[in-house]
């Protein structure tokens, strides 16, 4: 059996962007992750040591979002790869990374990318 874990709306301040001011000043970002996880008896065992720990997932995201990137696709890919490496029971990852109030020359709430592993 495979189950899904979603952690939505993780907010961070980070230095992602192609403009120097974005790299210097930073901006606000929101990350959503969706993990497809092989059960391996976790649901029946009720054992946190065998489960994907949500706090550890958050820490992986926090560590990766802190590394500056010129494009948000790069940051999202690092998050996706780091989760896959850290949690062997994860068989699929979907990461959505949104930049709030992007500098587009007009009003826009956010720009986001979604990366999906298979």
Question: Closest Cα to residue 54, out of 83, 11, 13, 14?
Answer: 83
Q: Are 70 and 20 in contact (CB under 8 A)?
A: no
pTM, to two decimals: 0.92
pLDDT tens digits along 31-62 = 999 999 998 888 888 888 888 999 999 999 99
Q: How far apart are CA 16 and CA 113, in angstroms?
A: 13
Q: Are 66 and 85 in contact (CB under 8 A)?
A: no
Domains of the chain, by residue range, sit at: 2-116
pLDDT tens digits along 22-31 = 788 889 999 9
Q: Is 29 helix (H, G, I), strand (E, B) or coil?
A: strand
- Residue 116 pLDDT > 90: yes
CATH class as words, domain 2-116: alpha beta
């Amino acid at each position: 059996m495979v189950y899904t874990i979603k952690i939505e709306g993780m907010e961070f301040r980070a230095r992602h962007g192609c403009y120097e001011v974005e790299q210097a000043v930073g901006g606000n970002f929101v990350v959503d992750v969706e993990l497809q996880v092989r059960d391996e008896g976790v649901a029946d065992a009720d054992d946190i040591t065998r489960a994907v720990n949500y706090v550890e997932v958050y820490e992986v995201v926090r560590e990766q979002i802190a590394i500056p990137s010129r494009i948000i696709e790069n940051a999202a890919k690092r998050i996706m790869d780091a989760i896959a490496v850290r949690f062997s029971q994860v068989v699929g990852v979907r990461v959505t990374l949104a930049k709030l109030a992007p500098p587009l020359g007009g009003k826009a709430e956010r720009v986001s990318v979604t990366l999906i592993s298979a």
